[in-house]
Amino acid sequence: AVKEFLARAKEDFLKKWENPAQNTASLEQFERIRTLGTGSFGRVMLVRHKDSGHHYAMKILDKQKVVKLKQIEHTLNEKRILQAVTFPFLVRLEYSFK
């Protein structure tokens, strides 16, 4: 059962990796509730999706800081991995936008 699960998870990951989702939402679709934390490139906020009512952690990056610290490729890789992975105990990317 574990081998089959891992095989399906790998297949699903590779499909999503090859065809990454683009701009699946907009900022206007969310209500900002409060800041959960801050980091080098921005902050993480608790938000509520206005249509569904679901709560999410939204990572808001300061593009100028990402560029200045030469972290563009690293940031894009993080986004691509998170949108492709579906696995217990790992966060997944539900929405993304600029």
Give the domains, in start order, of the chain with CATH numbers: 2-84 (3.30.200.20)
**Cα 49 from Cα 9, distance rounded (Å):** 27
- Would you say the pTM of this structure is higher than 0.95? no
pLDDT of 24 strictly over 90: no
Are the CB atoms for 85 and 17 separated by under 8 Å? no
% of the chain with per-residue pLDDT over 70: 100
pLDDT at 37: 98
pLDDT at 23: 87
Are the CB atoms for 47 and 56 separated by under 8 Å? yes
Are the CB atoms for 83 and 93 separated by under 8 Å? yes
- What b/e string do you get for 3-17 counting C-beta neighbours within 10 Å, with b at 16 or more? eeeeeeeeeeeeebe
Residue 98 annotated as lining a ligand binding site: no
